[in-house]
Amino acid sequence: MAYEQNLVCFNTFGAKESWTFETYNKHGGYEAWNKVLAGELTPEQLIDEVKASGLRGRGGAGFPTGLKWSFMPKNFDGQKYLVVNSDESEPGTCHDREVLRGNPHALVEGMAIAAYAMGATVAYNYIRGEFIDEPVPRFENAVKEAYEAGLLGKNVKGSGIDIDIHTFVGAGAYICGEETALLESLEGKQGKPRFKPPFPANFGLYGKPTTINNTQSIASVPAIIRNGAKWFADLGPEGSGGTALFAVSGHVEKPGNYELPMGIPFKDLLEDICGGVWKGRKLKAVIPGGSSCKVLPADVIMNCTMDYTSLMDAGSSFGTGAVMVMDDTTCMVKVLRRISRFYMAESCGQCTPCREGTGWLYRMLTRITEGNGEEADLQKLVDVANKIEGHTICALGDAAAWPVQSFLKHYHHEFEYMVRNNGRSIVDAATDAAA
Amino acid sequence: MSAAELLSDHVKDEIEHWKARFPEGRQRSAVISALHAVQHENNGFLTTELLNAVADYLELPAIHVYEVASFYSMFQTKPVGKHDVAICTNVSCMLRGADDIVEHVENKLGIKTGESTADGKIFLKKEEECLAACCGAPMMMVDHKYYENLTTEQVDKILDGLD
């Protein structure tokens, strides 16, 4: 089946210099914002439209964006903030970088609309520090172009609307993708998640009402307002409106960032869009939404559609839309060990179960791959994961636990084989037997 | 002499440029950007004197600056080589041969990850985490520039081209 691509966030892709103001304008850019400036849309109408579109937070949690906007206090007399989370660091995820590089004006326009809808006059875009060479200048240039076109600033086009957009550049910490850690970082502190409540809508940046949204979520807003909520909602199935940016990586012939309608069957994504599993090999497993999501074996994922409901019913989640594909030569023990190293390195250290538990997980998995594992370790891994899950301030703890639980559930025999064979992988054994 | 006098005019301009983005009295928000600017001028690493200088300039307790410098992975608090080489080894890159790239570079430079070459030219970062270029795996970042779909031949060319 043929799928129409690049309908929302990537709508300028394919054009020469897709990131410029001129290109964006030719693709319906700033139509929605100009309507707002002309007084044709009230904040309430904007929030209702985004609610009706079915847009859900693309940063991983999938919380309805319009509903989140509605949590901002309406009659607050003081500064309110919009903060965009461009701290893209969930392993496997690399599409926000494409928005920043390839269509930054969609984000600028989305920020202006979102800020106005929530009564915020200042918006920050928190971009990860490693993006300093290309994505940051592209975004900053887009902001500059928008100011020059008279679309940002004080009393924009005589509308009475004020909106200032600033870039913030981080310095390398996965945890800053957690929204309250991001606020701490934006305040110039260590990125350690805050205890909630109070939630950011009441006590956010500098203690003021703040909403934090993901880059892709905000970049989707102009197309929603331009084309209508129904147009967006109808692109995907019930409960998963719109398109999503799928970052497909790993063992496929054509890895890449693809903007496709939500609900595309995984089979079509793999075979039609990405050219199938590389080197003519067989599919073994897929992590469907970034490394924090539970792994799904081939026979399960091949029957899934790529949306919130289908992946949840299959026992995983949509996450960030980062699809990590593994072929049948992949050693699942080694992959899990690498994932566990990541969570150990990135734990901020403030909650004991996560700080200590992630180290335990990694050290046990290392011991197993080095041939010093014991059969009791397999149960111990799950025990430690269970003791982290649900016992920490933020979701990093859960994110460290879920891969362990799911890898051991689906691939227990690989761990068992390695423990019984002094660190030898079942995959290597199969290759040797075939040779 | 105040500690802040260690900072160059360029760094001070840079800090002021960032400070202007935040409300009055919220200059602490400029610490991360200030440290980026200072580190860039100091061949890629920070010293206690420089951290004190930033604290003094921003009128903050020194601990506010120390804790930021020690928390974020892009800040180096010990002397390192001039060029920063970071090879991603997270899952997407690992699945497409990142471990072989790391091994190749370690052998080529005669150092392990986390070390700098004896001539002070190259710093090979400790196992780098995901840099968000997963569809171009394996990838590495050299002095903030991304290089994707790497082969060992390309890696050689990039590293040999560093001054």
Tell whether B53 and B24 lie within a shared domain: yes
Tell whether A252 and A378 lie within a shared domain: no
| CATH number of the domain bearing residue B128 | 3.40.30.10
Peptide bond into A209 cis (omega under 30): no
Residue A16 in any domain: the answer is no
In angstroms, the first-to-last Cα distance of chain B is: 36
Q: Do A92 and B134 touch (CB under 8 A)?
A: yes
3-state secondary structure of A121: coil
Closest CA to A225 of A356, A91, A55: A55
Tell whether B55 and B88 lie within a shared domain: no
Tell whether A89 and A220 lie within a shared domain: yes
CA dist., res. A233 & res. A54, Å (int): 6
How many domains are contained in chain B?
A: 2
Give the domain range for residue A258: 243-327
Tell whether A264 and A284 lie within a shared domain: yes
**Which chain B positions have a beta carbon within 8 Å of A128's beta carbon?**
132
Residue B95 in any domain: the answer is yes
What ipTM, to 2 d.p.?
0.97
Would you list which residues of chain B are within 8 Å, Cβ to Cβ, of chain A?
Answer: 21, 23, 26, 28-33, 35-36, 64, 67-68, 71-75, 89-92, 94-96, 127, 129-137, 141, 144-146
Tell whether A84 and A226 lie within a shared domain: yes
Tell whether A255 and A359 lie within a shared domain: no
3-state helix, strand and coil shares in percent for chain A, rounded to the nearest 5: 45, 15, 40
Of A188, A249, A251, nearest to B32 by CB-CB distance is A188
The residue among B40, B99, B134, B146 with the most chain A CBs within 10 A of its CB, best to mutate, is: B134
CA dist., res. A154 & res. A32, Å (int): 19
Mean residue pLDDT of chain B comes to 96
Portion of chain B with pLDDT greater than 70, in percent: 99
What was the pLDDT predicted at A431? Answer: 83
Summarize pLDDT for A355-394 with one digit per residue, the tens.
999 999 999 999 999 999 999 999 999 999 999 999 999 9
What was the pLDDT predicted at B38? Answer: 98
Q: Is the pLDDT of residue A241 over 80?
A: yes
Q: Is the pLDDT of residue A395 over 70?
A: yes
What was the pLDDT predicted at B1? Answer: 64
3-state secondary structure of A147: helix
Residue with tokens 């790497």: B150
Q: Among B50, B71, B92, which residue terminates a domain?
A: B71
CA dist., res. A220 & res. A217, Å (int): 5
Q: Where are the beta strands (DSSP E) in chain B?
A: 83-87, 122-124, 140-142, 145-147
Q: Are A79 and A121 in contact (CB under 8 A)?
A: yes
3-state secondary structure of A306: coil
**Which chain A positions have a beta carbon within 8 Å of B73's beta carbon?**
171-173
Q: Do B29 and A187 touch (CB under 8 A)?
A: yes
**Which chain A positions have a beta carbon within 8 Å of B136's beta carbon?**
94, 255
Residue A353 in any domain: the answer is yes
Q: Among B71, B91, B118, which residue terminates a domain?
A: B71
Q: Do B132 and A128 touch (CB under 8 A)?
A: yes
Mean per-residue pLDDT for A347-356?
Answer: 97
Residue B76 in any domain: the answer is no
Q: Is the pLDDT of residue A326 over 70?
A: yes
CA dist., res. A107 & res. A316, Å (int): 29
Q: How many CB pairs under 8 A join A and B?
A: 141
Summarize pLDDT for A183-227 with one digit per residue, the tens.
999 999 999 999 999 999 999 999 999 999 999 999 999 999 999
**Which chain B positions have a beta carbon within 8 Å of A256's beta carbon?**
135
The model's pTM:
0.97
How many domains are contained in chain A?
A: 3
Q: Among A307, A327, A347, which residue terminates a domain?
A: A327
What was the pLDDT predicted at A74? Answer: 93
Portion of chain A with pLDDT greater than 70, in percent: 100
- Buried b / exposed e over B22-57, threshold 16 CB at 10 Å, is beeeebbbbbbbbbbbbbeebebbbbeebbbbbbbb
| Bridge partners (DSSP) listed for residue A83 | A124, A212
Tell whether A199 and A341 lie within a shared domain: no
Residues belonging to chain A: 435
φ, ψ of residue B15 to 5 degrees: the values are: -65, -45
| CATH number of the domain bearing residue A427 | 1.20.1440.230
Q: Where are the beta strands (DSSP E) in A38-181?
A: 81-86, 122-127, 164-169
Summarize pLDDT for B12-53 with one digit per residue, the tens.
999 999 999 999 999 999 999 999 999 999 999 999 999 999
Of A89, A132, A187, nearest to B28 by CB-CB distance is A187
Q: Among A215, A233, A251, which residue terminates a domain?
A: A233
Q: Do A324 and B145 touch (CB under 8 A)?
A: no
Q: Is the pLDDT of residue B127 over 80?
A: no
Of B64, B92, B133, nearest to A250 by CB-CB distance is B92
